[in-house]
Amino acid sequence: MRISVIGAGGWGTALATILSHNSYNVTLWCYEKKTYEEILAFHENKQYLPGVTIPLNIDVTLDLQKAIEENSIIILSIPVQFLSSILSKIEKFNYQNKIFCNTAKGIEVEKIKLPHQLLIFHLKDIKSDSIVTLSGPSHAEEAARHKPTNVVSSSPSLKNAKLIQKIFSNSFFHAEISNDIIGVELGAALKNVIAIGVGICDGLNYGDNTKAGLLIKGLNEISKIGIKLGAKRNTFYGLSGLGDLMVTCYSRHSRNRYVGEQLGLGKSLKEIVSSMKMIAEGVASTQAALKMIEKYKINSVLIKELYLVLFDSRKPEIAISNILNS
């Protein structure tokens, strides 16, 4: 069985090393030539996953067509806002009869679509049963260093969800099974929005009481939006919901929490984003989430207030007060 990982960011690189550890033949496709050359020269992704050795048996490539057509399982580790551009290239290749596993977290702003919906939109010959999403509380820095990590493998096809569970699972990395792909992806996207709010609380030095209140408000709003879109309530209280929400809101690794913290300290979004090497998906997901709640006529004070902080100069302390008192 040959497996391809599309995207050599921190998470894509970490997943490639896990699959290699599990004795699979792995291809890692790099978007950036610099990353490709760096991995070949040093067996390390110094920009996105420093300090982790990349096994010699991983086939690193810049050839996207080769990465797609010569492998039977395709792991997509592309940030959601760039996923359509990659899928528009893949649709020209022979992608039929392959399993696609999405690992990105977010909602595309332009189309207001979740990752599995983007695959169906671009890859016209793909069946929904062939799509799996792997998600949950999982920092690349920890998983790549073999620290125990639990995630969720979700698909309309339990057979394919179990296949992805099988190829990734080992003594330190375990995947549970779900058939609620909407709930899993929605929880993964919206927890990044909430993490920005929790980070604002850190920047304002509000303390644990405030953060706990905002986190619970956020979890309730995720559940409300998810149920409206056809997800199962229980999904949001599992690994891909509450679990991912907790790790993103409280971890020093969280880019989205960092964005919020810097906003709370008085920095502008432009300043913050320009200083970051990696993408904080929660910024774009806040834009997409606002469009989503307007489209489906869902009231969400949290999403509206955080959008105003990010894009309309709302004072962070006013936004947090409005959220907690809603």
C-alpha 300/C-alpha 222 separation (Å) is 9
pLDDT tens across the length of the chain (326 residues)? 899 999 999 999 999 999 999 999 999 999 999 999 999 999 999 999 999 999 999 999 999 999 999 999 999 999 999 999 999 999 999 999 999 999 999 999 999 999 999 999 999 999 999 999 999 999 999 999 999 999 999 999 999 999 999 999 999 999 999 999 999 999 999 999 999 999 999 999 999 999 999 999 999 999 999 999 999 999 999 999 999 999 999 888 889 999 999 999 999 999 998 888 777 788 999 999 999 999 999 999 999 999 999 999 999 999 999 999 99
Under a CB-based contact definition with an 8 Å cutoff, are residues 75 and 4 in contact?
Answer: yes
Is 191 tagged catalytic? yes
Helix or strand run (H / E) with residue 169: none
Annotate 94-109 with b (16+ C-beta within 10 A) or e (fewer): ebeebbbbbbbbbbbb
C-alpha to C-alpha distances, 298 to 224, 226, 305, nearest whole angstrom:
8, 10, 14
Under a CB-based contact definition with an 8 Å cutoff, are residues 264 and 221 in contact?
Answer: no
C-alpha 224/C-alpha 132 separation (Å) is 24
Residues 6+ apart with CB under 8 A from 54: 13, 16, 17, 28, 39, 43, 44, 45, 60
pTM over 0.85, yes/no: yes
Q: Of 191, 211, 217, 304, which residue is the catalytic one?
A: 191
Taken in order of first residue, the domains within the chain and their CATH numbers are: 2-179 (3.40.50.720), 182-324 (1.10.1040.10)
List phi, psi (to 5°) of 287: -60, -50
Is 46 strand, coil or helix? coil
C-alpha 175/C-alpha 19 separation (Å) is 13
